[in-house]
């Protein structure tokens, strides 16, 4: 796993502190060429991994990297699925079962099962998960996707339900079908780690908010400190700047103070900010 990963929130109007900034970014990146330009800036600064959602517009980005793969040697994608908004919109329009059917091939047996409104046995859940993951990952076909993440909206929903076996189903599907490792994004990493270990997933890849002020770190700072220092998982830190509440140097000094954190993911929309962040992380990492 690379030390520095590039995220995609800025491309789709996501900002947890400022709706106005989010709208401005959404307008700027309404054309895919603007997205590609920023990704090329990140690549020029030495960032080779793009951690991105399965937003429908991401298919255009994938098409570009497939077509021009010779320009980006060593480039990797870390898909994060599902992109919840499209399922939420479909569920509102079609109902839950109708939404699931809409994302599956019509001829498959599970589609027929769902049409009948029957309850699903475990083997059917495994098959359904496999089909949904396949539908989400179709846009990344032919690209290097060594780690595939379950988005926090799904991870934390399953945590709330206590359906821990679903994490094992997802990890097995990703490993067997795509020869990739499973990653899990969450707002409560200490709880998730316990649940993953409970179903036999050892040393998992977990992406979580880790920052100096505890912004969106459910479970409390002490629980995170204990989890990080124990070194029982491979951690990716996100929201390290607490959506702009922390100065870059102060924020990164805190995160890089934990040698157990393997990677840091951040989003930016200018080459200057990308370069500044990359250089700060590299300098603090080398100084450990």
Burial grade of 44 (CB within 10 A; 0-12, 13-18, 19 or more): exposed
List, for residues 61-83, the tens digit of each pLDDT value.
999 999 999 999 999 999 999 98
Average pLDDT, the chain: 88
CA triplet 166, 170, 173: central angle to 5 degrees? 135
**All structural domains of the chain with their residue ranges:** 4-286
List, for residues 147-201, the tens digit of each pLDDT value.
999 999 999 999 999 999 999 999 999 999 999 999 999 999 999 999 999 999 9
Kind and range of the H or E run holding 50? strand 49-53
* Predicted structure pTM score: 0.87
Q: What architecture (CATH level 2) is domain 4-286? A: Alpha-Beta Barrel (3.20)
Contact 2, 285 (CB under 8 A): no
In the chain, what is the straight-line distance between the N-terminal and C-terminal CA atoms, in Å? 18
Please enumerate in sequence order all residues whose Cβ is within 8 A of that of 37, keeping only pairs 6 or more positions apart, or say none: none
Taking every pair of Cα atoms in the chain, the longest distance, rounded to a whole number of angstroms, is 61
């Amino acid at each position: 796993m690379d030390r520095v990963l590039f995220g995609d929130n800025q491309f789709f109007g996501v900002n947890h502190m400022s709706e106005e900034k989010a709208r401005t970014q959404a307008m700027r990146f309404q054309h895919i060429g603007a997205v590609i330009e920023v990704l090329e800036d990140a690549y020029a600064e030495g960032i080779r991994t793009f951690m991105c959602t399965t937003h429908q517009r991401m298919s255009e980005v994938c098409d570009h990297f497939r077509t021009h793969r010779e320009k980006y040697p060593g480039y990797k994608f870390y898909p994060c699925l599902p992109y919840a908004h499209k399922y939420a919109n479909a569920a509102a329009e079609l109902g839950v079962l109708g939404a699931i059917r809409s994302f599956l091939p019509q001829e498959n047996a599970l589609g027929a099962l769902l049409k009948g409104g029957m309850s699903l046995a475990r083997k059917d859940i495994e098959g359904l998960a496999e089909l949904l993951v396949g539908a989400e990952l179709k846009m990344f076909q032919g690209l290097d996707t060594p780690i595939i993440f379950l988005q926090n909206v799904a991870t934390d929903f399953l945590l709330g339900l206590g359906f821990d076996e679903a994490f094992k189903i997802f990890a097995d599907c990703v490993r067997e079908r795509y020869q990739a490792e499973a990653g899990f994004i969450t707002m409560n990493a200490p709880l998730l780690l316990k649940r993953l270990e409970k179903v036999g997933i050892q040393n998992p890849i977990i992406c979580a908010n880790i920052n100096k002020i505890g912004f969106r770190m459910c479970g409390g700072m002490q629980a995170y400190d204990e989890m990080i220092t124990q070194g029982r998982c491979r951690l990716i830190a996100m929201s390290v700047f607490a959506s702009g509440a922390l100065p870059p140097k102060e924020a990164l000094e805190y995160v890089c103070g934990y040698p157990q954190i393997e990677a840091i993911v951040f989003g930016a929309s200018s080459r200057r900010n990308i370069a500044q962040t990359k250089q700060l992380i590299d300098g603090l990492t080398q100084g450990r």
